[in-house]
Chains A and B, each alone.
Chain A
Amino acid sequence: MIEHDVVCPFCGCLCDDLELETEEGKIVKVQNGCALAESTFMNDVRLPAPIRRTETGWEDISYTEAIKETAEILQGADRPLLYGWSSTHVEAQSIGVHIAELIGAVIDNTSTVCHGPSILAIQEVGHPGCTLGQVKNRADVIIYWGCNPVEAHPRHMSRYTTYATGFFVPNAQLERTVIVVDTRRTDTAGIADEFVQIEHGGDYAVLSALRAIVRGKTSVIPAKIAGVSKEQLIRIVEICKTAKFGAIFFGLGLTMSRGKYKNIRNAIELTDELNRHTKFVISPLRGHGNVYGSNEVFTWMTGYPFAVDFARGIAFYNPGETTAVDILRRGECDAALIVASDPGANFPRDAAAHLAKIPTVIIDPHVNATTALSRIHIPCTAAGIDAAGTAYRMDGVPIRLKKVIDRGYMDDAEILKKIYDHLNGGKGP
């Protein structure tokens, strides 16, 4: 059987034009997807049943037992941390926030080590963004800054930018100018019309120089800024000012480098300057399939997009203090519930190590590095493969993930609901 218009849940592009061929309840072919989509659907090896760590190894346990013990761990904790959420649907995320409120936990999502700094900058100066459809149909200048979509979002360029035919950009490859700014000469840099190789930590200075040139203050710029020549910066400003519609996409090269959220603020303010001359927008390239959804859900329910602390009985938000890495680094939390993510692999060593010192439970379809650090691992459905649900694309557009096959697993929203019920004496959220 062939299923049309399937959404790939892997990255923030949420490509919704895949064709999946299924045979006897198994996915046997993926059409239109990138290498990441193919691996997501075709190479989906799951943990068969809940497991619990013992003195000497691992033992299988029932879902009922695993859920009850998880609730007891959370109930007995003084400062529980609920972390992850970005690879599941908003239905599960919302129950996570209910649990956090009920038990006074800290709840954080993976944007904390991804585009958290972008959110901090947006909170300071706003977000002049648009949907990817607008970019596809209108943008004639594309800037990729500190990101490598060829590797991280393989279809971004073919669906929305460089190679995408748009309503006002019918000959995309001829009509779109692509500028790439990076410290490395990546594969994305290889297809750029203009590649700006920048020294490590030089983003803020280069953004400031571009702003000065846009303002007509070219004379104050030295011959070289962070390894970039003044001539190239002037050329880039000229390309941007004469664009009909420009779009800047940025990645972790800005959020994780020196300056962090101040880099993003400067990039947004450059976008602001350019809007005095033409139409320009800026947006982050979001990583996990539904990381944007976790920001949406957290914001609807608590007022804050990540790093929300309910210890005071109300929602409190102070990145740097209530962010997951900081809480783990300080050894502050005494229990952790990890959902749809892998901090064991993606957090710095000291932060990950604390997970092994406390009772940690992970709810995730796959065995990952965090499994080894956990006391209990509860397998569940994977949103977009064997569970339907809503996810948010990187531009904030909600897209319904389909259930393509049934593998007999419990939905993580259902597992979380049962944990909530245990914590709340049988009453649901």
Chain B
Amino acid sequence: MKCILNTGRTVPQGAYVEHKGSDAYRSVASAGFLNPVDMMMLGIEDGDRIRVTTPAGHIVLTARPAEGVARDEIFVAIGPYANHVISSETHGTGMPDFKSQSADVEPTKEPLKSVGELMEALGGLHYDRT
């Protein structure tokens, strides 16, 4: 399904923002909110995995239904999951297209990655001793 990737803040994302290694943060930051009709069209249920692909890359998210999200849109809380597929092009303004990245959404059985795994994919090394 071709759609627009939209991102923004949510209360749970803010509440766990300093606990990025936690399961709770992974759960809120990796949720992809879709219009229930779009979920029906994709043949997926609440909690199923989806693969979101953009020219910048791809990421696996957990699909969640949200009536407030328009058709052909996916909403993801700001954070490392959404940013894994957002282009760094800023059109000369300094600001990437955090709210209007075109994306392709499809069902998948691939596993969800942790924030540490996402950072290791960028060349980092996860620290988990706190």
Say whether A185 faces chain B, with CB atoms less than 8 Å apart. yes
Q: Which chain A residues have a beta carbon within 8 Å of chain B's beta carbons?
A: 10-11, 34-36, 38-40, 43-48, 51, 53, 57-58, 112-113, 116-117, 120, 148, 150-152, 154, 183-186, 189, 197, 200-201, 252-253, 255-258, 260-261, 287, 307, 319-321, 323-326, 328-329, 342, 344-353, 356-357, 365-369, 371-374, 377
Say whether B111 faces chain A, with CB atoms less than 8 Å apart. no
Task: Flag B42-79 by CB within 8 Å of A: 1 or 0 each.
Answer: 00000000000000110000000001111001010011
Give bound CA distance, A11 to B15, whole Å. 11
Write out the residue numbers on chain B whose beta carbons fall within 8 Å of the beta carbon of A350: 56, 87-88
| 28 pairs of residues in contact across A and B, judged by CB atoms under 8 Å | A11-B14, A35-B14, A39-B16, A45-B18, A58-B127, A116-B93, A117-B93, A120-B93, A151-B8, A185-B67, A252-B8, A320-B90, A323-B94, A325-B88, A329-B88, A342-B17, A344-B122, A348-B56, A348-B87, A349-B85, A349-B86, A349-B122, A352-B83, A365-B18, A367-B20, A372-B127, A373-B119, A377-B127
Give bound CA distance, A365 to B16, whole Å. 14
Write out the residue numbers on chain A whose beta carbons fall within 8 Å of the beta carbon of B69: 184
With A346-B78, A348-B87: A36-B15 Cβ-Cβ less than 8 Å: yes
With A113-B98, A184-B75, A253-B99: A356-B122 Cβ-Cβ less than 8 Å: yes
Task: Flag B113-128 by CB within 8 Å of A: 1 or 0 each.
Answer: 0011011101111110
Write out the residue numbers on chain B whose beta carbons fall within 8 Å of the beta carbon of A45: 18-19, 130
- Among B11, B68, B91, B100, point to the contact of A185 (Cβ < 8 A): B68
With A344-B119, A369-B20: A189-B100 Cβ-Cβ less than 8 Å: no
Residue contact A345 to B73, C-beta cutoff 8 Å: no
Give bound CA distance, A345 to B125, whole Å. 14
Residue contact A347 to B88, C-beta cutoff 8 Å: yes
Give bound CA distance, A183 to B66, whole Å. 13
Residue contact A261 to B93, C-beta cutoff 8 Å: yes
Write out the residue numbers on chain B whose beta carbons fall within 8 Å of the beta carbon of A154: 11
Residue contact B130 to A53, C-beta cutoff 8 Å: no
Residue contact B88 to A348, C-beta cutoff 8 Å: yes
Give the 10 A-B CB pairs with smallest separation, nearest first: A323-B94, A372-B124, A356-B123, A185-B68, A320-B92, A372-B119, A152-B9, A39-B15, A348-B88, A329-B88
Interface of chain B residues 3 through 24 with chain A (CB within 8 A): 4, 6-11, 14-21
Residue contact A369 to B94, C-beta cutoff 8 Å: no
Q: Which chain B residues have a beta carbon within 8 Å of chain A's beta carbons?
A: 4, 6-11, 14-21, 56-57, 67-70, 73, 75, 78-80, 83-100, 115-116, 118-120, 122-127, 129-130
With A372-B125, A373-B123: A326-B90 Cβ-Cβ less than 8 Å: yes
Write out the residue numbers on chain A whose beta carbons fall within 8 Å of the beta carbon of B88: 325, 328-329, 347-351
Residue contact B119 to A151, C-beta cutoff 8 Å: no
With A45-B18, A189-B68: A320-B75 Cβ-Cβ less than 8 Å: no
With A45-B19, A183-B73: A152-B8 Cβ-Cβ less than 8 Å: yes
Nearest residue, chain B, Cβ from A190: B68
B51 to chain A, nearest CB (A): 16
Give bound CA distance, A17 to B30, whole Å. 34
- Among A150, A200, A346, A371, point to the contact of B73 (Cβ < 8 A): A200
Residue contact B125 to A53, C-beta cutoff 8 Å: yes
Write out the residue numbers on chain B whose beta carbons fall within 8 Å of the beta carbon of A117: 93-95
Residue contact A345 to B83, C-beta cutoff 8 Å: yes
B126 to chain A, nearest CB (A): 5
Residue contact A367 to B119, C-beta cutoff 8 Å: no
Residue contact A116 to B94, C-beta cutoff 8 Å: yes
Residue contact A57 to B125, C-beta cutoff 8 Å: yes
Give bound CA distance, A51 to B128, whole Å. 12
Residue contact B83 to A346, C-beta cutoff 8 Å: yes
Contacts A348-B87, A349-B84, A373-B122 known; list 10 others, CB within 8 Å: A40-B18, A58-B127, A113-B95, A184-B75, A257-B99, A324-B94, A328-B88, A344-B119, A348-B96, A367-B21
Write out the residue numbers on chain B whose beta carbons fall within 8 Å of the beta carbon of A369: 20, 80, 115, 118-119
Residue contact A260 to B83, C-beta cutoff 8 Å: no
Residue contact B127 to A256, C-beta cutoff 8 Å: no
Write out the residue numbers on chain B whose beta carbons fall within 8 Å of the beta carbon of A260: 91, 93, 95
Residue contact A46 to B9, C-beta cutoff 8 Å: no
Give bound CA distance, A120 to B98, whole Å. 18
With A45-B18, A200-B73: A367-B124 Cβ-Cβ less than 8 Å: no
Write out the residue numbers on chain B whose beta carbons fall within 8 Å of the beta carbon of A345: 20, 79-80, 83, 115
Residue contact B84 to A256, C-beta cutoff 8 Å: no
Write out the residue numbers on chain A whose beta carbons fall within 8 Å of the beta carbon of B4: 200
